[in-house]
Structure 1
Amino acid sequence: MPKSSNADFAEFASRALDAYQRDLRTEPGPHRHPWQPLEDELVADFLADLMHHCARNGIEFDEALDDARRVYINERADEGAYNLGSTVQLKGPAAQEAEAAGLPTRGVITGLLIAHDGSPDYYLRCPGEPRNHRFSAADLQPAPAFQAVTTHRGVVADPLAAERALVEATARIGTADGRDAPARYDDIEDHHTLLGSLSSWSGLSLERLSEILQPKFAAATRQLEAVAGRWEDGPPGVRPAGEPPGPAGLATQSFPARASEVSSTRADPGRDPSHQANDLTQYPRVAR
């Protein structure tokens, strides 16, 4: 038996609505009309009666509706909808706004929201950003797949995993530097490999990508140093004036020094303008 298409599924629903409509014509209830109802009213009546059916038979209507929405999104994947984990890039005004702010335009789908009209909005996470951003399907298009990267700790197959591995490697380098100890060669090599791969995929320069990631680098380094108990001599990683950097410092000297200047002006389309000012506070503005 050939697999049914989405057009077939729509036809199945049309037949069910036709049969339901015929019943309405012959036995109109107190809120029914004997004439053909408008399409949206017909669907609303059908759903209302399904709710009665579920209540009578112990079926959780809301759970069934949530399941139906998820199935609908998955079935539309072949028509241009995006699944979780898909790599996409911004287009149109959304892309222009990100590029003007020096922010990445490529990312990974991390969630979805179904609007009342059935159209999906997507949550997108881009490298370096601390939160998801919501975009409509019209703002997105498929992006090239992220090429898997082989590191000393395993293979990294997606950009968000590559970012996590890069942050962890950089934190280990920074912790060693704070102890005036040499960093592991594996971490230095992984740092350069992952940073280069993310830069190539995202389209951002090595310097700009490092700048955007600097707050995450600093936070992860502080956390690792706290675990190691390296706070007794003041701020970790600070060298006496004039002392040359060690091997770990050389590995990280491409990092921008002025991470406090990193900020974002990305705005989510369709959001209330009164909320945009709050979005500006989401990006850490402190450096080690």
Structure 2
Amino acid sequence: MTAVSEEPILAVQGVSKRFGAVQALSDVELDVHAGEVVALVGDNGAGKSTIIKVIAGVGPADSGEIRWEGRPVTIASPSAAQELGIATVYQDLALCDNLDVVGNLFLGRELRRFGLLDEVAMEKRARDLLRTLSIRIPSVRIPVASLSGGQRQTVAISRSLLGEPRIVILDEPTAALGVEQTAQVLDLVERLRDQGLGVILISHNMVDVMAVADRVAVLRLGRNNGCFDVGRTTQEEIIAAITGASDNVVTRRRARTDRPAGLPWEERPGQDDRPGEGTDG
């Protein structure tokens, strides 16, 4: 694993965003270092999509600051984000099924020679890129429509790397994928980290989050509600932050689920909960 740098590449500081009467974000903080996977989690409506759009240049914040390598920057458009070094892979992938892998990788940024498409150069670069990321695809000339969900996701992620970004944002990259396809995508996320990139992973799947993330940033109702080091926390603590549940609720639930089966009530933890005692009925 690549050592995490001391200064973050990207630092979001005190960002707020309102849509009419709805306060979507309130003083949100988020930072990402090189060689680090930060999972961004929260319930529907927590503000995940809004903060990602702010970072990706789709919708500027009303207030707050974004710093890139320590200096304040303005990200007024998606092209400005890309020029800065931020790549975003949205959930819909935006792939063209009628094009092959090479055509999708270079869509909108085709290589030309003497005014003509340089198919040889594009194919070579596509092969080199996929080989570097250890992505297994039958052929770079196979139509994207014939690829599995996991392979399509890896193609979309690979396309985002052609601009040599330093931060990659992945929006629900394992949604609707099977077990094997999910494993392929998570392996790719780890390889991005190992190559020194910062990764922001938006996911509802806590198993995936705990498997690859270094830190988990929780948003709740448009505000920060905790940032957890994966090596020092539990899935229950993160879920409690997402839902707003108290530690006592989580602790009591854990005690119930951990209660040994088959023991008399006197020998089980929480024996005051025995049915028929302490009640009028």
Question: What band does the TM-score fall into relative to the shorter chain?
Answer: under 0.3
Where relative contact order (Cα < 8 A, 6+ residues apart) is larger, the structure is 2
Bigger proportion of residues as helix? 1
Higher Rg of the two aligned structures: 1
Bigger proportion of residues as strand? 2
- TM-score, with normalisation over the residues of structure 2? 0.24
